[in-house]
Structure 1
Amino acid sequence: MTRTSPRSDTQGAVTARYDRIARFYDLIDRPMDVLGGVASRRRRLLARAHGAVLEVGVGTGRNLDVYPPDTVVTGIDVSAKMLARARQRADHLGGPFRFEQAAVQQLPFADATFDTVVATCVFCSVADPVAGLREAARVVRPGGQVLLLEHVRPRTRLLGWLFDAINPVVRRLVGPNINRRTEDNIVRAGLDVVEIRRWGIWREIVVRH
């Protein structure tokens, strides 16, 4: 069973963690992108985005320069300090970007607002991931898509136990849970997965609405 601390996973606690690490976040994440090959997979997945795009957990805006030119991107995040950095990056890039402080579990948008919803390394940190996944599907138009790039709890017993054991330390230091069962959460949310690519602990997932 995946163990997380309810006190450490409240929305307020998640927001505080990311406010605290916002100025270091890109530095923390860079080795994973380069050495883990995540950057190339991020580009491949986001090349599928089209139309009106909602990026949940936009963070410091590291995906903004990856989107196809025909997209109009709205980014949300729970952390005001992360959003401040995303806005700085957007100002540098130019383009049709807008930002709002919000949580994916309670999206401030009407049903069927977006053609694409994107989340990269987000549902490892969401206080209620199943509710967040349902909200992501709610705001997608019929025929639209949800694009997910997430790391998950290893399936092997020993590695799974190890990730459970060190998860509280990792969460406290750098923010995310490393033992989320995201594939199971997608099923619990009732979403329709049409494509999934697995490599190690990483998943590229396409959900159609």
Structure 2
Amino acid sequence: MTANSNRIRQRYDRLAPYFDSLEGVLEGLLFRRLRKKLWVQAAGAHILEVGVGTGKNFAFYPDDARMTGIDFSPRMLEIAQRKQQRKQIAVDLTLMDVQSLDYADNSFDTVIGSFVFCSVPKPRKGLKELYRVCKPGGQVLLLEHVLSSNKILATLMNLFNPLVVNTLGANINRQTLKNVQACPFQKIFIDPASSDMIKLIRAIK
């Protein structure tokens, strides 16, 4: 793990006990609905969730798939493991960095992540890893917040980004759609429910 990755990991470790509470209002008003919309598209026998965090997506896991989940924060993963045991969720949870996945090429039918690439130090490297472990004809599903297309708002987001990164470990000015388009996917779809700053992305390998 790089020094930059380690700093981000430490911030998420620090925030882990409070993470669900910090996002509670947004989760109830918006994020949960979008997560459900993302996960309804998940298909195939073997599904990988990257950035599993505290296990916020457990409720949306399909019943008929083998589930694997990873996160690079030990503290976040500990909370997810406690939820997994309490709710009896069938998922194999592993401590792992999305920038260096310990899986063979073409391993998963669906690779899915929600609000992950805002905190990946080298997002294109991470996205290329998702592409690599996804099976041919499989899909990568992402729910991500991105830099606004509004010039004034984008300028403010760029201005405040260093403060947010240093405090929370997340970038608010990522251009994740462009990063996905830089990978050799066959087709890329943007869900019509996407907004200016929150995108639901489906990429077919």
Name the TM tier (shorter chain). over 0.9
Q: Does 2:194 match 1:201?
A: no
Give the match for residue 41 of structure 2: 48
Name stretches of at least 5 consecutive residues in structure 1 with no aligned partner. 1-6
Instruction: Provide TM-score, normalisation by structure 1.
Output: 0.91
State the secondary structure of the residue aligned to 1:53.
Answer: strand
Shift of 1:56: 0.7
Matched position secondary structure for 1:10: helix
Paired position in structure 1 for 2:133: 139
Contact kept in structure 2, 1:65 and 1:93, CA below 8 Å? no
Aligned residues: 201
- Matched position secondary structure for 2:58: coil
Distance 2:187 2:195 in 1: 17
Match of 2:164 among 170, 185, 190: 170
Counterpart in the other structure of 1:186: 180
Q: CA deviation at 1:109?
A: 0.3
Amino acid paired to 2:127: L
**Displacement after TM superposition at 1:194 (Å):** 3.1
Separation of aligned partners in 2, 1:196 and 1:30: 26
Give the fraction of aligned pairs with identical amino acids, expressed as a percent: 37
Residue in 2 that maps onto 1:75? 69
Unaligned 5+ runs, structure 2: none
Superposition deviation, residue 96 in structure 1: 2.1
CA distance in 1 between counterparts of 2:47 and 2:86 reads 20
Determine the C-alpha separation between the residues in 1 that align with 2:147 and 2:186. Answer: 21
RMSD of the alignment, in Å?
Answer: 1.5
Name the residue aligned to 2:94.
100
- Cα distance in 2 for partners of 1:174, 1:24 equals 12
Opposite residue 136 of structure 2, the aligned amino acid is P
After TM superposition, where is structure 1 displaced by more than 6 Å over at least 4 residues in a row?
none
Q: Which deviates the most, 166-175 or 124-133?
A: 166-175
Aligned-partner residue type, residue 141 of structure 1: K
| TM-score normalised by length of structure 2 | 0.93
SS in 2 for 1:127: coil
